[in-house]
Structure 1
């Protein structure tokens, strides 16, 4: 069995790995667990982990995991938002302005892979913010909401999004998926409803 450790940006991504990704990969022989950036250090110091921060913190976690476990069956990946990368991220100065997000992701993932320099490290950058996945799970989200205002807001949101692919909804700072969810769903919780909606929808 392959062991996969996902270094995630925050609690929402960690919950997504635990509740959606891990159950999906387990039947395929991949045991998956997540750790939030900085969690390895903050737990030892007795503090709560908040994630994020400078790339140097991310790199320390990745190298610490790979360095303390030299097993051949170990794989380490990342779950980082393309739009939230710190300024010192490898390759960002050269590729950060590329408007083609697919090409930008590929270039930055390759830069990160080379920077870490371990064949067991398989970097992944999320092209679109986490809430883009939630917009693909609005039917499941409806079953998690019970406040009348939220249900009305969800209907409005469904009308706005229509058949637009969730990736294409990420079109501006005020109309990005997270902003739309906050605008229409006052009772929406990113760390609670997001992972639950995705777990109900499942992965293809």
Structure 2
């Protein structure tokens, strides 16, 4: 069995990994363990400073060289000290996927560990929920909410194209349509209802990351 540690941004991503990814990939010989980033002594969650995140990634890579380490961080609102964020070449990347690939490359170079697989969510976890907006229907009383979310999804080529401004990021659009949305509660539940197959079919960057994980599967199990 192949061990993979996933350093995640918060409780929502941790629940998503445990409830959807862990049971799915266990069948392929991949043992995934989500770990929420530490921000300060006694506090967890949020990528507020890369200087605080880097030692955690490197420690995970070094303490179990036979395992692999990856990340589940939002591209949206990454701190300015994140590798590549202030690089002169960064603005030339026009799409979210291009930005993520560029920053992931910079992150890999900075961590410099052979068992590290960088990954950023484009633009954030909530983008996955726009794969099937109809799944929100169970949690709201008004069809107008679902219609509004569906309109946002239909206005973009993929959910990963929903942009990252403070007003229009995926989570902000959901909160605008559904003020009662609770990220840690609704997020993982709706994600599980949507399912992994639909997500990977609609989100190419997310799909690419899953393929990297799948490539780690023990040959005898595949």
If the length of structure 2 is used for normalisation, what is the TM-score?
0.78
1:163 CA drift (Å): 6.7
- What is the alpha-carbon distance in structure 2 between the residues aligned to residue 63 and residue 86 of structure 1? 18
Q: Secondary structure at the match of 1:167?
A: helix
- Equivalent position to 2:195, from 193, 196, 202: 202
Contact preservation (8 Å) 2:76, 2:123: yes
CA-based RMSD of the aligned residues comes to 2.2
Deviation per CA, 1:55-112: give whole Å up to 9, x if none.
1111111111122223x2x000011111222111122222432323333222221221
Deviation (angstroms), 1:2? 0.7
**Paired position in structure 1 for 2:69:** 76
2:12 and 2:183 in contact (8 A); partners too = yes
Change (3 A) 1:163 1:85: closer
Q: Quick check: 1:132–1:170 contact (8 Å CA) kept in 2?
A: no
How far the C-alpha of 1:198 sits from its partner, in A, is 0.9
User: Does the aligned pair in 2 maintain the 1:102–1:127 contact within 8 Å?
Assistant: yes
Correspondence for 2:23: 23
Alpha-carbon contact 2:10-2:37 (below 8 Å) kept:
yes
CA distance in 2, matches of 1:53, 1:160: 28
TM-aligned CA distance change 1:161 to 1:53, over 3 Å: closer
For residues 116 and 159 of structure 1, do their structure 2 counterparts lie closer, same or farther at Cα, with a shift above 3 Å needed?
A: closer
1:96 equivalent in alignment to 2:100: no
Which secondary structure state, in structure 2, belongs to the residue aligned with residue 28 of structure 1? coil
For structure 2, the 5+ residue unaligned runs are: 198-222
Q: Tell me the SS of whatever aligns to 1:53.
A: coil
Task: Report the TM-score, using the length of structure 1 for normalisation.
Answer: 0.84
Matched pairs, number: 194
**In structure 2, C-alpha distance between the alignment counterparts of 1:88 and 1:134, rounded to whole Å:** 29
Distance 2:95 2:154 in 1: 24
